[in-house]
Amino acid sequence: MDKISDGTPLDAATRRRLTRRGILMASAGAAAALGAAGMNVLQTDAPAVAGRELHPEPLIPGRNRGIILYSVRDRIAAAPDSSGVPYGFERVLARLAELGYKEIEFAGYNQSTEILGRQITPAEIRKILDDNGLVANGTHAQINAATFEQQMDIAQTLGMRNIGTGSDPANSSYTADWDAAADLWNDLGRRARARGLRLYTHNHDTAYSFLLDSGPLDAAGKPTRSSGTRRLEYFFRKTDPRYVFFELDIYWAYVARFKHQKYVDRGGVERTDLFDPILNVTSRSKRFPLFHAKDGDRDSAQANGYVMTPLGEGDINFQQFFATIGDPEYRHANWEQDTAPGGAANPAQSLDFAALSYRNMADLTIYQR
């Protein structure tokens, strides 16, 4: 039985509450887009086939279920206290392993110096991983030419297969900046591959906004209109698929679908183009080994169109998403919720949300003959 961070079992009503919406409901918008593309649309009920017994299989295999530590950053950074809630790498990673997580994505390597009287080392973190049967599947580090070798050293000490960043490769609307970013990432990705690593970047919604790459120039000589190409789509084309990979943040991808729908073409005409997160992955499947399984409650009154929630509490259809993109053995899903920490008022909240989200990740299944 699952437990929250103070050891209290999760009751059946709580589990039902967390899986009641979104998890098993097909998205009409996604279904229409998939059908138009000639792809099969998932049936989310348990189908009946005469004379054949169907059985559920997990959409995310247990060994591929992970968490980025940014979700529980408050407890990683916490000093010893009297709350009874785990703190620091040793206690927090042990708790995450108890919950069922098998993979860890890092968001920094520091904890409170009050725990050891000094800062913990990557080698000591590796031992904690090994002791708890955990595997490091990636990191959100600063990716630049000056520190890349050092970052790869840390990644290899921790046993990572992937090394990445939580920032977009370029914070720009112009192709010249994305060209420069692609040159850098192709070089760094080549160096990473030489050391047995894959270099990846994680998206926010702005990465799927439209480039300014056509039409009249402004006073600085830069384009003011768009061809309809999205920033990261351009980066896909400019980077070598052998060296540069991606971690789709599913929440931010759906925010992009909500926010970035219109552009003005070279002739000054406003155009509409809806971004589809599922087709974005299926069109270049092997470039996405990692995902952030981050959920959101739909709220069109919000600037982003969603409010972050624990996995399974929101309206994003992870059942449809993971069933359609396929390759469950290749995909690694890391739960993330930026807003999970509860602060001094509720120090256990992020670990409680981690427990709830793990259960809902494990509940994602598809029926097979």
Q: Mean pLDDT, to the nearest integer, of 342-364?
A: 97
The full 3-state SS of 91-160, as one line of letters, equals HHHHHHHHHCCCEEEECCCCCCHHHHCCCCCHHHHHHHHHHCCCEEEEEECCCCCCCHHHHHHHHHHHCC
Q: Mean pLDDT, to the nearest integer, of 73-101?
A: 97
As a whole number of angstroms, the distance between CA 238 and CA 230 comes to 13
End-to-end CA distance of the chain: 28
Residue 50's pLDDT is: 55
For residue 45, is pLDDT > 80?
no
Q: pLDDT of 161-174, one tens digit each?
A: 999 999 999 999 99
Looking at per-residue confidence, does 17 or 112 come out higher?
A: 112
Residue 54: pLDDT band with limits 50, 70, 90: confident
Q: Mean pLDDT, to the nearest integer, of 265-293?
A: 97
Q: Are 169 and 235 in contact (CB under 8 A)?
A: yes
Residue 17's pLDDT is: 38
Residue 251: pLDDT band with limits 50, 70, 90: very high
**Domain map (residue ranges) of the chain:** 12-368
The CATH code for residues 12-368 is 3.20.20.150
For residue 181, is pLDDT > 70?
yes
Residue 42's pLDDT is: 38
For residue 47, is pLDDT > 70?
no
Mean pLDDT in the chain?
A: 89
Q: Mean pLDDT, to the nearest integer, of 318-329?
A: 94
Residue 82's pLDDT is: 87
Q: Which residue has the tokens 């894959």?
A: 198
The secondary structure of residue 70, as a DSSP letter, is G
Q: Mean pLDDT, to the nearest integer, of 246-256?
A: 98
For residue 31, is pLDDT > 60?
no
Residue 24: pLDDT band with limits 50, 70, 90: very low
Q: Mean pLDDT, to the nearest integer, of 275-291?
A: 96
As a whole number of angstroms, the distance between CA 367 and CA 46 comes to 7
Q: Are 298 and 309 in contact (CB under 8 A)?
A: no
Residue of 16, 25, 13 whose CA lies nearest to 315: 25
Q: pLDDT of 32-44, one tens digit each?
A: 444 444 443 334 4
Residue 366's pLDDT is: 87
Query: 22-31, 119-128, 197-206 — which is least confidently predicted?
Result: 22-31
For residue 266, is pLDDT > 80?
yes
